[in-house]
């Protein structure tokens, strides 16, 4: 097989697996539960780690490709199930912080991977299978810890109809013996959901699209997930090595500069954990997107002019770092969990699957489309990303409510009232037009 084609397949198959995996939450989480679903995904990841570890010894590129497909599938499904689980077990007062912890785990994992992937450690021609297989260690640890964790109380009540198990889970999660208030709140949410959705015994894509009150939340999480990938974060990392080199950093030291960038991403995400319940989701999201627009503009201008004005290469480095900061506090963390906040437990798995599919699809499109685009128009490709951030940002500014310190039921009521007002306005216009037609 042609080496270029083989490399392209090996790289892109991860995104294919992620796109397929994004559909999984809607298919398994209500049947298996959140906890068992995550344990199952860890099994897939462990199998992938075994394939990675032995692919070179077996001289099999097929094992490498299958491993990347499996790990992509696991990541795609986990991106929907993890925030769902965290949202359902967390008290309202720390729900946002718990959601950001998911992104913190991702950024920390990337940073550790960058560190052990240095050429002096595991990033060599001989040791790369060990680097890829190392993913098996956190997956094994995660699976063992999850085995002893309680499942989502909402899942136990809504899907399993097991009040005793839900109460037991809440007692462990809240670390107290009296959880009557939490249990009553969950039961009340389920009763109200059953009354509102009595015509939908089982949610599907068709029924979610048909429900007026769910259309806007669905569009919002699709927009947020798509914007996360269309913001240009991967493009910034694509250019970062060349930017560092143009600033005078020796080629052998660029890996350390990228490591510092990853460390900054982790630090800002840690700060976001504390800010999300104080500043709110909207402030961090829109503020971060604003910082990304300014940074991308500055970066584009700096790259374009740095050959004429040499000190602009340092401005380009600062722009990269500020872009990463803006992404970390906004689009990097908020879309990971806010989808679980905008939906009740019933339609939540399907909605998260749809949003996850668009997120991974956009990731795939950027992955295959950006390199040739950058080869043709260079740094001007950032104009597309800037436009996406601005357009999506305006929509989010107008349509996304603040969910800080609000229960899932309160958020649902907000969208239901908006839907009722829109329908009422539409009916009023239809009536007015009909009267005008009759009078004419």
Q: What percent of the chain is predicted at pLDDT more than 90?
A: 67
Of 331, 392, 343, the closest CA to residue 215 belongs to 343
Mean pLDDT of 361-384: 89
Of 183, 172, 157, 324, the closest CA to residue 257 belongs to 324
Q: In sequence order, what DSSP letters do the residues of 336-347 get, joined into one string?
A: HHHHHHSS-TTT
Query: Distance between CA 401 and CA 411 in Å, rounded?
Result: 8
Query: Distance between CA 113 and CA 118 in Å, rounded?
Result: 9
Res. 439 pLDDT band, cuts 50 70 90: low
What six digits make up the tokens of 76? Answer: 């795609």
User: Is CATH 3.40.50.720 correct for 8-149+204-420?
Assistant: no
Asked if residues 396 and 388 have their Cβ atoms less than 8 Å apart, the reply is no
Asked if residues 185 and 172 have their Cβ atoms less than 8 Å apart, the reply is no
The pLDDT of residue 195 is above 80: no
pLDDT of residue 197: 61
Res. 426 pLDDT band, cuts 50 70 90: low
pLDDT of residue 423: 66
The pLDDT of residue 440 is above 80: no
Of 231, 235, 217, the closest CA to residue 355 belongs to 217
Domain boundaries, the chain: 8-149+204-420
Res. 424 pLDDT band, cuts 50 70 90: low
Asked if residues 331 and 295 have their Cβ atoms less than 8 Å apart, the reply is no
Asked if residues 57 and 1 have their Cβ atoms less than 8 Å apart, the reply is no
The pLDDT of residue 170 is above 80: yes
CB count within 10 Å of CB 99 equals 28
What six digits make up the tokens of 31? Answer: 């049947």
List of residues 6+ apart from 382 with CB closer than 8 A = 232, 235, 296, 297, 299, 300
List of residues 6+ apart from 357 with CB closer than 8 A = 19, 22, 23
Of 216, 192, 193, 188, the closest CA to residue 203 belongs to 193
The pLDDT of residue 392 is above 80: yes
What pLDDT, in 10s, does the model give residues 282-314? 999 999 999 999 999 999 999 889 888 888 989
> Helix, strand or coil for residue 247?
coil
Q: Quick one: angle between helices 254-275 and 233-246, nearest 10? A: 140
The pLDDT of residue 74 is above 70: yes
End-to-end C-alpha distance for the chain, whole angstroms: 73
Residue 248 CB-density burial (10 A; 0-12 exposed, 13-18 middle, 19+ buried): exposed
Q: For residue 151, give the DSSP letter.
A: P
Q: What is the pTM of this model?
A: 0.87
Asked if residues 303 and 316 have their Cβ atoms less than 8 Å apart, the reply is yes
pLDDT of residue 388: 97
């Amino acid at each position: 097989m042609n080496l270029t084609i083989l490399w392209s397949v090996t790289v892109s198959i991860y995104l294919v697996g992620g796109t397929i995996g994004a559909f999984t939450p809607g298919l398994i989480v209500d049947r298996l539960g959140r906890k068992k679903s995550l344990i199952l995904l860890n099994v897939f990841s462990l199998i992938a780690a075994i394939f990675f570890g032995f692919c070179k010894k077996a001289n099999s590129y097929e094992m490498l490709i299958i491993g990347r497909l499996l790990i992509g599938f696991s990541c795609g499904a986990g991106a929907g199930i993890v925030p769902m689980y965290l949202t359902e077990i967390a008290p309202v007062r720390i729900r946002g912080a718990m959601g950001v912890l998911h992104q913190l785990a991702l950024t920390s994992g990337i940073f550790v991977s960058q560190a052990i992937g240095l050429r002096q450690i595991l990033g060599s021609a001989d040791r790369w299978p060990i680097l890829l297989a190392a993913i098996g260690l956190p997956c094994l640890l995660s699976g063992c810890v999850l085995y002893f964790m309680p499942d989502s109380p909402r899942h136990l009540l809504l899907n399993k109809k097991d009040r005793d198990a839900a109460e037991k889970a809440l007692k462990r999660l809240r670390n107290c013996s009296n959880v009557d208030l939490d249990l009553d709140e969950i039961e009340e949410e389920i009763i109200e959901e059953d009354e509102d959705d009595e015509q939908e015994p089982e949610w599907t894509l068709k029924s979610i699209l048909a429900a007026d009150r769910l259309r806007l939340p669905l569009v919002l999480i699709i927009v947020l997930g798509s914007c996360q990938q269309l913001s240009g974060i991967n493009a910034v990392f694509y250019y970062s090595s060349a930017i560092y080199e143009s600033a005078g950093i020796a080629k052998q030291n660029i890996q350390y500069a990228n490591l510092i960038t990853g460390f900054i991403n982790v630090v800002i995400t840690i700060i976001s954990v504390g800010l999300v319940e104080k500043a709110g989701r909207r402030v961090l999201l829109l503020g971060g997107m604003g910082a990304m627009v300014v940074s991308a503009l500055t970066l584009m201008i700096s790259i374009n002019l740095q050959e004429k004005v040499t000190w602009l290469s340092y401005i380009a480095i600062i722009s990269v770092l500020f872009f990463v900061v803006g992404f970390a506090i906004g689009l990097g963390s908020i879309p990971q969990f806010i989808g679980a906040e905008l939906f009740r437990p019933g339609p939540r798995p399907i909605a998260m699957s749809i949003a996850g599919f668009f997120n991974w699809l956009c990731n795939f499109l950027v992955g295959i489309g950006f390199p040739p685009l950058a080869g043709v128009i260079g740094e001007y490709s950032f104009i597309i990303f800037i436009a996406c951030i601005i357009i999506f940002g305006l929509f989010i500014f107008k349509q996304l409510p603040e969910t800080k310190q609000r229960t899932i039921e309160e958020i649902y009521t907000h969208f239901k009232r908006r839907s009722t007002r829109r329908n009422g306005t539409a009916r009023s216009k239809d009536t007015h037009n009909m009267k005008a037609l009759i009078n004419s």
